[in-house]
Amino acid sequence: MSEAVELLQRMGSPSRATQREACDEALARLRVEPGLRDGVRELLRADNALARFSAAWVLFQIERPTLRLLPALLDALELPDGDLRWQAAQMLAALGRLQTEVLPVLLHDAGSAASASRRRMAIFVLRELAPERAETGALYLRALDDADGDVRRAALSCFAKLTDPDRSLALRALALARGADPDPRMARIAAVVLPELARFHPDLRAEFDTALALLERAADASLARGAQAARKRLADTDE
């Protein structure tokens, strides 16, 4: 087995330490061995999703990112390693700023991917890539009906990052603060985002305050504390 082939194999190792070391080595060698680049690019079509991600990571560092990296990065949103999922998410956001074709793909995957992990991570990528887009807010609103609780919580948490949230999002967050979702964590997240939404919809501030005042008396101590802090932030927006 040649040294280059052995290196490429290690880039797909299930051992995080081995995989990281191989990626760093490949990056260093590519700077002096440009011929290795073809092997790394070929790895983008490997059966191993981790190997594909490793190839995308190395190429992302060594050259201007292109759409050839998109499939590997999207698949990496489903990797079991959370650190690698977040690295893939960051690269997807950066790639989306360079290539307009990325946004519609992310919107599709955030709403329709078979994997809940992929839907959830795509939601987070959209938060970084396109918080100003109406399509992002509309996707978040639909995601609140997702069967997976992690996806619903991710979407609601991202409401606070939107730069122009629609009134429909503010009203849905208010309903969730009032207990519209059976998951009690949704009410806690809603309490956090209401003060941010009030900046864009001040006419709803009184209703937000009433909902938070009720949550302050919740039996759930963490929910009560969160509501108290949110209510103080809400009051601060009046100043």
pLDDT score at 6: 92
At 104-160, the pLDDT tens digits run 999 999 999 999 999 999 999 999 999 999 999 999 999 999 999 999 999 999 999
pLDDT score at 23: 96
Q: Most distant CA pair in the chain: distance in Å? A: 70
pLDDT score at 145: 97
Name the one residue in this structure whose structure tokens are 């970084």.
128
Report how far residue 52's alpha carbon sits from residue 41's, in angstroms, rounded to the nearest whole number: 9
pLDDT score at 239: 54
Q: Mean pLDDT of all residues in the chain?
A: 95
pLDDT score at 95: 98
Mean pLDDT check: name the lowest of 27-36, 64-73, 82-91: 27-36
Report how far residue 135's alpha carbon sits from residue 31's, in angstroms, rounded to the nearest whole number: 40
Name the one residue in this structure whose structure tokens are 């639909």.
142
Mean pLDDT check: name the lowest of 27-31, 51-55, 154-158: 27-31
Asked if 96 and 129 count as a contact pair (C-beta separation under 8 A), the reply is: yes
Asked if 91 and 69 count as a contact pair (C-beta separation under 8 A), the reply is: yes
Is it the case that residue 166 has pLDDT exceeding 80?
yes
pLDDT score at 2: 80
Is it the case that residue 238 has pLDDT exceeding 80?
no
pLDDT score at 207: 97
Strands (E) across 7-93 are located at none
How far is residue 82 CA from its own chain's centroid?
11
List the structure tokens of 148. Answer: 């997976």
pLDDT score at 151: 98
Closest residue by Cα to residue 93 from 59, 117, 126: 126
At 178-236, the pLDDT tens digits run 999 999 999 999 999 999 999 999 999 999 999 999 999 999 999 999 999 999 999 98
Closest residue by Cα to residue 122 from 139, 142, 98: 139
